[in-house]
Amino acid sequence: MHKSKNNIIKEWLVQNGNPEIQRQVEEEARNLHNLKNTNFELTINQENQLKEWQEKIKEVFGKYGHYDYTFTPFGMVTGCKVRSHLTKTTIDLTEY
């Protein structure tokens, strides 16, 4: 695994007893853990829009292809965009 220069410095500082760096590293680890355990769900309307878009892609290209899903929290609303690797296009499913 490749470590960045900053991570190597942080590890050294933690090992040599810098309590502020130790606190920062622990907080970053908690934040990363919380991010990995976050679930996002599409509404029925979003699912229908997505399926319709995917079907149009299949009609043109003969297959669905692969997709990237991006969820962006905006406070009360979570943005949702889906990008098709096949068509290089994106659909915004965010419900405002």
> How far apart are the C-alpha atoms of 57 and 80, rounded to whole Å?
19
> How far apart are the C-alpha atoms of 1 and 87, rounded to whole Å?
33
| Residue among 47, 24, 50, 41 nearest 78 (CA) | 41
pTM: 0.61
> How far apart are the C-alpha atoms of 54 and 52, rounded to whole Å?
6
Task: Enter the tokens of residue 31.
Answer: 């934040």
Amino acid at position 10, single letter: K
Q: Would you say 74 and 96 are in contact if contact means Cβ atoms under 8 Å apart?
A: no
| pLDDT (tens digit per residue) in 5-53 | 667 666 776 677 777 777 777 777 676 666 666 788 899 999 999 999 9
